[in-house]
Copies of this chain bind each other. A is one copy, B any other.
Amino acid sequence: MGTGQHDASTGTDVDARVVRTRNDVLGTAIDVLIDDGWEAVTQPNIARAAGYSKATVYSHWPDRLDLLRDALARFGSMPHHEPTGDLRADLVAELISFRTALTEHRLDRVLAILAERASAVPEIADIRDRFVSDGERPLRDMLAEVATSDELESATMALCGAVLHPVLMHGEAPSDAAIEQAVDVTLRGLGLNR
């Protein structure tokens, strides 16, 4: 915050205050999205829920799509598994992190809302594509070490799908054993017998 302007009237760095405001508002925007859906993510609603003025929220995000984009970017920076070099263990741990995000941080609901809105609004499709691709990157990078470029895409889709499909389409998170099974089938399928 050393680069921020100092506001003598309050004794705080202006940048620090702005950062705090933005974080408050973006955190609230995700909560409102999860609880009430995309229709509820409007500047006046979010301002009320976060305890800021409408003018403040509009000044940072004149367009509610930017509010969604920034809220997702903040939500998406949740911890991934830190790779150890043991590919099987790393893939299992990354997919378990994904499952935790889906079930405990309500990423399931965020993705369901994005998928639904994206099928109607092209700008939301762009936001979803970016958000999903960023989330998949660690898994894709791990698989890229052992898969040919042809196989990489389908292995990534199959492993993401093995976690997301039961959650979104059956309302049931896969067990650790089911995740291990999916990883083992994929690794054997990629020619890595273990």
Contacts and interface: CB of A to CB of B under 8 A. Distances in A.
Contacts of A153: 174, 178, 181
User: 3 tightest CB-CB pairs across the interface, nearest first?
Assistant: A161-B161, A185-B189, A189-B189
Contact of A115 (B116, B177, B181): B116
Given A128-B169, A185-B186, A189-B187, A157 B161 contact: yes
Given A37-B120, A151-B181, A154-B181, 7 more contacts: A109-B116, A115-B168, A150-B181, A154-B174, A157-B182, A161-B163, A188-B191
Contacts of A164: 161, 165, 169
Nearest to A111: B169
A92 interface: no
Interface string A165-194: 110111100100111011011111111000
A125 B171 contact: yes
Interface string A106-134: 00110111011011100001001100110
Nearest to A106: B119
Contacts of A116: 37, 109, 112-113, 115-116
6 contacts: A153-B174, A153-B181, A157-B174, A158-B161, A185-B186, A186-B189
A128 to B, nearest CB: 7
A181 B184 CA distance: 17
Contacts of A158: 158-159, 161-162, 182, 185-186
A14 interface: no
A70 B156 CA distance: 35
Contacts of A190: 185
Contact of A129 (B112, B133, B171, B178): B171
A160 interface: yes
Contacts of A155: 185
